[in-house]
Chain A
Amino acid sequence: MPTVSMTVNGKKVSGTVEPRTLLVQFLRETLGLTGTHVGCDTSQCGACVVDIDGDSVKSCTILAVQCEGANVTTIEGLANGSELHPMQEAFREHHGLQCGFCTPGMIMSAVDLVKKNPNPTEQEIRHWLEGNLCRCTGYHNIVKAIEAGAKAMGARK
């Protein structure tokens, strides 16, 4: 079985995996990073979104072996200890989550959006979330949270 090495949340990690191992399996099962979730098997729901080399990617649709040498950030890598990332704080402040299952993917997607578009409009936010399903919130407060998170991320710079 091949060995794969990558940087996850700033730490160098490596593991022996079957080639068919998905990144999300490597994260959850090998590294024990269970914040990244699996909500579907057709690459639609976005619960598994992580950041790979600066872009949001569905970790259920990429093999771990494809991530050799990559820099991966998961939801566990966003906060600085007990200090939440501004987008995490915004989701909490604006009740952008209920059951919490889609939340890691939502937040990772949102952070990527704001990185690429620091002042997104409501329509741009809604369009960007095309690949992230939520069944609880009706997206209303997710959109509000991302608007606020974008402002907070801008202020932090």
Chain B
Amino acid sequence: MYAFEYQKPKSLADAAARAANEDAKILAGGMTLIPTLKQRLARPSELIDLGGIAELKGIRKEGNDVVIGAMTRHADVAASDLVRSTIPALADLAGMIGDPAVRHRGTIGGSIANADPAADYPAAVVGLGATVITNQRQIPGDDFFTGLFETALEPGEIITAVRFPPAQKAAYMKFRNPASRYAIVGVFVAQTAGGVRVAVTGAGPSVFRQKEMEAALSKSFSPDVIKDVKQSPDGLNSDIHASAEYRAHLVGVMARRAVEKCG
């Protein structure tokens, strides 16, 4: 790691003011940032640890929605009675992220702000039509992820929470990379008030919605109706573990299994 200054602000306003500095980086759970620093792939002048801001933690119900504070850990989402009873698929997904030690530190805010193409949470944010709440505004999940490791966040903008509307049915299926255990393909399927959503992570540079599958499932919510929907490999990721064609195929398989899992 290169040397940096460390700050642990007590308030969101203080954190935001510091985060306006372009050379500063926000530290949430650190599960991606710290390995990145260790590999000397980033050289921030300052780390702003959000761990001291109480208002960013916790899970609460607002109306029918589940609102998860940005600094809430994956393990807490996975174990939350509120999440388990309202959107069990979301708790399942949180329990599939990384390994137990990672789930004990990693946070939802950190995960989605990082926008790793193989991360799990983006599939839930888009798949459930969630809203990302920041210190400045509310961003619809569909508009949040803008590309490879890119989001709609502006400099100094800090995620404070994510609001998840409940779904009638939802499930997440993930095909793990045999080495890293990140998603080679993860598909989140949900029947929501706004229609069926199929969100795919791992396969492309950023999470995306599989609209053809959504259309087919809107007519009849069963695995069979998407059997013949072909995901195009164009633009999908390709690496030693999975070609674009294999990923495209797995999108179909994971989507069908997710629909099956919805019951």
| B244 within 8 Å of A (CB atoms) | no
CA distance A130 to B104 in the complex (A): 14
For A46, the chain B residues whose CB sits under 8 A away are 99, 101
Q: Is the CB–CB distance between A130 and B51 below 8 Å? A: no
Given A63-B30, A66-B49, verify A19-B101 contact (CB < 8 Å): no
Q: How far is the CB of B156 from chain A (nearest CB, A)?
A: 21
For A146, the chain B residues whose CB sits under 8 A away are none
Q: Is the CB–CB distance between A61 and B100 below 8 Å? A: no
Interface residues on A, range: 20 to 34
B residues 27-56 near A (Cβ < 8 Å) are 27, 30-31, 34-35, 37-39, 47, 49, 51
Q: Is the CB–CB distance between A19 and B4 below 8 Å? A: yes
Residue of B nearest to A108 (CB): B101
Given A19-B6, A65-B6, A131-B98, verify A57-B34 contact (CB < 8 Å): no
Q: How far is the CB of A63 from chain B (nearest CB, A)?
A: 7
Partner of B35, one of A49, A57, A61, A132: A61
| A2 within 8 Å of B (CB atoms) | yes
Q: Is the CB–CB distance between A131 and B4 below 8 Å? A: no
CA distance A61 to B34 in the complex (A): 6
CA distance A22 to B75 in the complex (A): 22
| B230 within 8 Å of A (CB atoms) | no
CA distance A46 to B38 in the complex (A): 16
CA distance A132 to B100 in the complex (A): 10
Given A19-B47, A65-B6, verify A131-B75 contact (CB < 8 Å): no
Q: Is the CB–CB distance between B31 and A43 below 8 Å? A: yes
CA distance A42 to B40 in the complex (A): 12
For B37, the chain A residues whose CB sits under 8 A away are 20
Partner of A109, one of B6, B30, B31, B100: B100
Q: How far is the CB of A102 from chain B (nearest CB, A)?
A: 13
Q: Beta-carbon contacts of B97-133 to A below 8 Å, as 1s and 0s?
A: 0111110110000000000000000000000000000
CA distance A109 to B101 in the complex (A): 8
Q: How far is the CB of B24 from chain A (nearest CB, A)?
A: 13
| A56 within 8 Å of B (CB atoms) | yes
| A58 within 8 Å of B (CB atoms) | yes
CA distance A55 to B105 in the complex (A): 9
| B2 within 8 Å of A (CB atoms) | yes
Please list the residues of chain B having a beta carbon within 8 angstroms of any beta carbon in chain A: 1-6, 8, 27, 30-31, 34-35, 37-39, 47, 49, 51, 75, 98-102, 104-105, 180-181
Please list the residues of chain A having a beta carbon within 8 angstroms of any beta carbon in chain B: 2, 18-20, 22, 41-44, 46, 49, 52, 55-58, 60-63, 65-66, 68, 109, 112-113, 128, 130-132
Report the 7 A-B pairs with minimum CB-CB distance, sorted nearest first: A131-B99, A19-B6, A55-B104, A130-B99, A20-B1, A58-B101, A61-B34
